[in-house]
Every structure is written in structure tokens, then in C-alpha cells.
Amino acid sequence: MGGRRRLALGFRSWLPDHRSSDGKVYRRALQAGLELLGQVPNGSDLLRFEVEAYAKAVLLHTQATEHWADLLYRRRSGKGRRPSERRVERAARRVGLASISVKEATARLEELARRHGHGAGPTLDQIRQRYRVPS
């Protein structure tokens, strides 16, 4: 693996491969966060940090949801050793906690957008639909 270069607009590279499916979700969430802010965070580390935090929260929510769905499928119709009910319940709790993290990160971004006078852009639901980001 080569050196870690920055992504577009100065965002840090933190996934092993940003071309993977997780990387695509992360990029979509970065775009949604930037659009929610209404600007490119030129020189502002705080804005860049909050957009990255939002994108990471969205990625973790997506991964938790996929893991929970996989466990549910294997529990209902899988062959061989099936996941226990407790394991499925823990995965469901993880999805709930991840969704709370996404909501908190969204609220921080919306507050920054209002504070910097960029609240006249598209609504959050329009942005999520455009980039297929889960709510």
C-alpha cells in the first residue's frame, strides 16, 4: 500500500481503499455534508472536521445496518450455525446508536450552516435523496 494522500478538497484519507463500496458511501456522505453546509470548507479546519465526522457517522450507520440485515437473514434462513438472538439484538442496538450519531452530526452541520449564513440551500431530505444517504 502506498502513501496516504489527501482526498479532494483536503479531506483526509482514512479507509484502506476509497474505491471500495465503503469509499463510495463515504464520498456520497462527504458531498451531502458539503451541500448541507452550502460551501467548500476552504481553510476552515472546523468545517472540514464536521463534514468528515458526518460522513464517518453515515458510513458507520450503513455498515451497522448491513451487518444487522445479514444477521437477520442468516438467523431466519441460513444453514449451519445461526447467530443467536442476543447477537441480533446487539446489532439492532448498534444500528440505533449509529442513527443517533448521524442525527447529532447532522444537527452540528446544520448549526454551522446557520452560523455561517449558508442555510438557504436545499433541505436535508432533498440532499439525502440525491446522494442516497440513509437518514
Residue 11 lies in a domain: no
Residue 109 lies in a domain: yes
Domain that residue 80 falls in: 19-131
Q: What is the pLDDT of residues 2-58, one digit of tens each?
A: 445 666 666 777 776 777 888 888 888 888 888 887 766 665 778 888 888 999 999
| The pLDDT of residue 111 | 85
Are the C-beta atoms of residues 28 and 130 closer than 8 Å to each other? no
Which DSSP category does 83 fall into?
A: P
| The pLDDT of residue 42 | 64
The rounded distance, in Å, linking the Cα atoms of 17 and 26 is 11
Residue 95 lies in a domain: yes
Are the C-beta atoms of residues 50 and 114 closer than 8 Å to each other? no
The rounded distance, in Å, linking the Cα atoms of 11 and 27 is 10
Report residue 69's pLDDT band, with 50, 70 and 90 as the boundaries.
Answer: very high
Q: What is the pLDDT of residues 102-115, one digit of tens each?
A: 999 988 888 887 77
Residue 97 lies in a domain: yes
Residue 40 lies in a domain: yes
Please spell the DSSP secondary structure of 16-46, one letter per residue.
S-TTSHHHHHHHHHHHHHHHHHTS--SS-HH
Report residue 92's pLDDT band, with 50, 70 and 90 as the boundaries.
Answer: very high
Residue 65 lies in a domain: yes
C-alpha cell at 13: 484519507
Residue 5 lies in a domain: no
Report residue 134's pLDDT band, with 50, 70 and 90 as the boundaries.
Answer: low
Is the confidence at residue 1, as pLDDT, over 50?
no
Residue 102 lies in a domain: yes
Among positive and negative, which fits the CA dihedral 85, 101, 33, 38?
positive
Amino acid at 73: Y
What is the tally of structural domains in the chain?
Answer: 1
Determine the average pLDDT of the residues in 80-84.
Answer: 90
| The pLDDT of residue 90 | 97
Tell me the whole-structure pTM to 2 decimals: 0.78
